Structure formats: structure tokens, C-alpha cells
Amino acid sequence: MFKRLLPLLVACIMLACTSGELTRSKATKLIEKTEGYDKGLPEITLTIDEVQRGVNSGLWIIHRHGYIMSRDTHAAELTQEGSKYFSSMAITPGQLESWNLYVSVAPRARVNYVLVEMTGIRDVPDSEGGGKIAEYRYKWDFSRLPEPARKIFDSRGPQDARALFRHYDDGWRLEKFL
């Protein structure tokens, strides 16, 4: 009788010991269930190359106005063609590589966040609050954008990201993106 119950007992003990672990699969599911994950990207911050590709494709124009308080000033404007694919364009001061500005566009079509791969999970020391940090790769899915707009983002590949998880009495929770 004991020999028949031994495998069942071992399986139950193993399940109990591992049920509190944050696996790559659990971390992926928790990220994908996060509020806003499936809502899409409302605004895309452009790289310098993407700004230039948009100018070269006739989707927008960047005007240089000159200097104000020792700073280059610029204005961004969607062309008639660009207005077909983007609802707005903004330019704000900041540090974008060698430029002192950020350029962003709001796509008319939905651009989704796609988790590509969960690359690892590591412990956070108790002295730092405990928990686990999940490291993963994601990309933006531009496939819903029409071809002229989609070509602007051709060089974007997967990017690295991290998320902090903490264990509570009801299981693991995504605390924040890092």
C-alpha cells in the first residue's frame, strides 16, 4: 500500500514546494494581464533615423527656427500624406542623442506591445525589499500601420526590459516596470 502512495506523496510535496516560485511562464502571463498591455501605443517617440526617414518619405517636415536662450528651436508638422497615418506630431525639449529635442507621433492605427521572450528571473535581496526581477525582450508590432508609415520603423528590433514582482499570500504580483 505504501509503495503505491509513495509516488503520489512525492508529487504532492514537489508541487507544494514549487507552487510559490515565479516561473518564466507565470511572469509572462502576469505582464500580459497588466492593465493597458493590450491597449496599444498612443504615441511613438522617434529616433533621429526615424525622423529623417519620415522627412525623406514626405510624411512630416521639421523646421528649424533658430536660437532662443542659447538653444536650437524646432517645429514639427505632419504633411497631408503624414496626416493619413498619424493624428498628431509633437516636438519637445530633451536629449535625443545629439539633438536637444524629442519628436513623437500618434499613430491612427493601433501599435501593440508584444512580449517576445522571458530571458531570466533573479532574486532581489531582502535588503532591497525582496521579490524577483524578470528580464525580458519585447517589440512593438507596427503591422497595422499602412506600408508608408510602417517603413519608418523597419529598423526597430526587440528591446530589453525588466519588471519587479513581489510575492503575497495570494501569489505573485507585478509591482512595477523598471
pLDDT in tens, 129-144: 889 999 999 999 999 9
CA–chain centroid gap for 60, Å, is: 25
Contact between 128 and 103 under an 8 Å Cβ cutoff? The reply is no
**Interval 87-118: pLDDT, tens:** 999 887 764 445 556 889 999 999 998 999 99
What 8-state DSSP symbol labels residue 22? Answer: -
CA separation for the pair 61, 73 (Å, rounded): 14
**Interval 75-88: pLDDT, tens:** 789 999 999 999 99
CA separation for the pair 19, 1 (Å, rounded): 28
Domain residues of the chain, as ranges? 20-40+110-177, 44-107
